[in-house]
């Protein structure tokens, strides 16, 4: 995702909410629903992998954020669920992009 986002973490109540806001700004810049689907699927896989590592190592892989603190399992689950919802809300079945 674009690191030049003007969003401030301090404006959001949660780590997942901050990520959702970044998605809300970034997704419309993509050229097509297909491009959005591919991007969201890749993001979901990254979060699933990070969550798997987080669980396997009992949080030892986590990095503390100065505003949100330590990530929790709920942060990962909420973000993955949001990505799943966004993918399913896109037109088409997405089989070609998966």
Share of the chain above pLDDT 70, in %: 82
Compare 3 and 16 and report the one with higher pLDDT.
Answer: 16
Share of the chain above pLDDT 90, in %: 48
The pLDDT assigned to 51 comes to 92
- On the question of pLDDT at 66 being above 90, the answer is no
The pLDDT assigned to 80 comes to 96
Beta-carbon count within 10 A of 40 CB? 24
φ and ψ at residue 65, rounded to 5 degrees: -95, 140
Mean pLDDT within 14-28: 91
Mean pLDDT within 80-93: 92
| Nearest CA-CA partner of 83 in 52, 54, 42 | 42
| Nearest CA-CA partner of 73 in 83, 63, 58 | 58
State pLDDT tens for residues 22-59: 999 999 999 999 999 999 999 999 999 999 989 998 87
Mean pLDDT within 8-22: 80
Task: Calculate helix-pair angle for 33-56, 73-89, nearest 10 degrees.
Answer: 160
CB 62 within 8 A of CB 45: no
């Amino acid at each position: 995702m674009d690191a030049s986002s003007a969003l401030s973490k301090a404006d959001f109540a949660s780590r997942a909410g901050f990520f959702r806001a970044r998605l809300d700004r970034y997704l419309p810049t993509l050229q097509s629903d297909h491009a959005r689907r591919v991007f969201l699927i890749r993001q979901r896989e990254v979060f699933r992998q990070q969550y798997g590592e987080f669980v396997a190592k009992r949080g030892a892989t986590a990095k503390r954020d100065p505003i949100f603190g330590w990530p929790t399992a709920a942060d990962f689950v909420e973000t993955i669920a949001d990505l799943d919802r966004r993918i399913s809300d896109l037109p088409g079945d997405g089989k070609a992009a998966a």
